[in-house]
Structure formats: C-alpha cells, structure tokens
Amino acid sequence: MAESAISVKDVKIQYRMLNKMSLLKAIMNPKRFQKTEYFEAVKGVSFEVEKGKILGIVGRNGSGKSTLLRAIAGIFSPDEGSIDLHGHSISLLSIGVGFQTALTGRENIYLSGMLLGFDKAQIDEKLDEIIEFSELGKFIDRPVKTYSSGMYSKLAFSITAILETEIMLIDEVLSVGDAKFRKKSFDKMKSLIDNKDRTVIIVSHNSDTLKSLCDNILWIHDGEMKMLGTTEEVLPKYNEFMS
C-alpha cells in the first residue's frame, strides 16, 4: 500500500469580512459596526498525496488555491477538517510569504532556514550555495524591502531548493524572474523531483509546467474540488473550461 505524505480531509476555510463605515456611523450604530460577514474560500476539500508524487493545483484566480496551500503549510489552521503531514518536514515557496523585509537577504536565509527546522551549522554549510544560486551578488547584504519581485523570488526559490525539505509547496514562483533564472529554477525543480522520497504540490497557471512535472492535478473551482485525477485526464478539461 502506498504511503501518504499529505492527507487533507473535509477542509473548510473562512475569511471574516468587516463591514466598512465611517467612524461617526460606527459610534452612532455600534451593533451594525460589529456585524461581520464570512467568505468561505475553501469548501470541504479532501484529497491524499502519496509520498514522492507531484500534485498540481489549478483553478481561476480567487478559487482558493493559495489559501489551501497556506493551510497545508501551517500558516493558519482550517476552520473545519484536518490536515496531516504524517511527520514530514515542509516548506512553502510563495512570493510575499516568509521574509522580514527590514532584514537583509543573508539574514533572511538564516531566519527562513531556522523556521524550516535547520540549525545554524546546517545553514552555514549551505549558505554559499544559496547565495550563488540566487544570483543576487552584493544585494544579498541589502534589505529585502529594496528587492524587486524577481529578486525576491530568486532568493525564496534558492532557499527552498537548497535547504531541501521532504514536502515542497510551490505557489507560482517558477513563473517569476528573468528567462534565464526561470530555466535554471525549472531544471533545479526537476532534479529535486527526481528524488522519489520528496513530495511536491505546485499551484500554477502554466499548463506546460504542470504537464511536464505533475503526476496528478487537483482542479478547484469556487473553493470546491471540481476534479481530481491524472494530469492527462484533468488538464485538457480544465484548459477547455478556461478557454
């Protein structure tokens, strides 16, 4: 029987939405100000990912893909349901997540590495390789808040790719950066995936990337699972739907 790396069962995730109103109206009508509305971003999604498999997640913008990925990464807990990583280490590669922008790139390497469970000695051993792969040069000692989105993605990818975890979650980062770095990132990702003990979930709008890398595809539509199957089964139907 295949070993599960990720088990997601009946996961529901809601966002609280506060009504906007002026300060005067809030004072005059406090009960109305306290009223909240809820948006259900993920609606009872369930799936399993076997150890060593690569799952792609597709869906139009706002369908709940990134929300689900962040819940799997442990950034927040689902309102209902459960997520079990079966004791595996995990990393999330996503633009806008994980860096302290006031710190330098070098300092964020240590911070990110420690959050992934690595000690200083292990990070020291990989530091030069991370910096070299990132191609940031002298910018590695400048605050991350001065980085472009491409530089940010280069550093984020380099940390996750070199400090290897058992589960990797990737949110659109392979499509960011210059063409040369995208090619290098794609090649590095393929080499990581060749390790049959590593499990990967990729959120992407790039059909070529998904077709090249993924064993299975999960299609989410308006927070619900619309289809789950092999890449050959799901991707053509999804592309037809989107066209």
What is the model's pLDDT at position 197?
84
Of 34-48, 64-78, 132-146, 175-189, the least confident: 175-189
Given a cut of 80, is residue 53 above it in pLDDT? yes
Given a cut of 70, is residue 133 above it in pLDDT? yes
Asked if 11 and 41 sit in the same domain, the reply is: yes
Residues 81-119 pLDDT 10s: 999 999 999 988 776 566 899 999 999 999 999 988 899
Count of structural domains, the chain:
2
The edge-to-edge listing of strands for the beta sheet with 80-84 is 36-50, 4-18, 80-84
Q: Extract the tokens encoding 123.
A: 């990070």
Asked if 77 and 170 sit in the same domain, the reply is: yes
What is the model's pLDDT at position 171?
83
Is residue 195 in some structural domain?
yes
Is residue 95 in some structural domain?
no
Question: What is the residue range of 127's domain?
Answer: 100-164
Given a cut of 90, is residue 242 above it in pLDDT? yes
Is residue 93 in some structural domain?
no
Given a cut of 80, is residue 18 above it in pLDDT? no
**Confidence class for position 27, pLDDT limits 50, 70, 90:** low
What is the model's pLDDT at position 185?
80
Residues 206-226 pLDDT 10s: 898 899 889 999 999 999 999
Asked if 62 and 136 sit in the same domain, the reply is: no
What is the model's pLDDT at position 176?
58
Asked if 83 and 175 sit in the same domain, the reply is: yes
Torsion, CA 112, CA 118, CA 122, CA 128, rounded to 10? -20
Task: Please report, for residues 45, 54, 59, 67, 79, the alpha-carbon distance to residue 238 in angstroms, rounded to integers and kept in the order given.
Answer: 18, 18, 8, 20, 28
Given a cut of 90, is residue 184 above it in pLDDT? no
Of 28-32, 34-38, 63-67, 238-242, the least confident: 28-32
Q: What percent of the chain has pLDDT over 90?
A: 57
Mean predicted lDDT score pLDDT of the chain: 87
What is the model's pLDDT at position 172?
74
Is residue 223 in some structural domain?
yes
Asked if 197 and 214 sit in the same domain, the reply is: yes
Is residue 17 in some structural domain?
yes
Asked if 207 and 133 sit in the same domain, the reply is: no
Buried b (16+ CB within 10 A) or exposed e, 84-97: ebeebebbbbbbee
Q: What's the whole-model pTM score? A: 0.81
Is residue 191 in some structural domain?
yes
What is the model's pLDDT at position 227?
97
Given a cut of 70, is residue 20 above it in pLDDT? no
Which of 164, 184, 202 is the endpoint of a domain? 164
Longest dimension (CA), the chain: 63
Given a cut of 60, is residue 21 above it in pLDDT? no
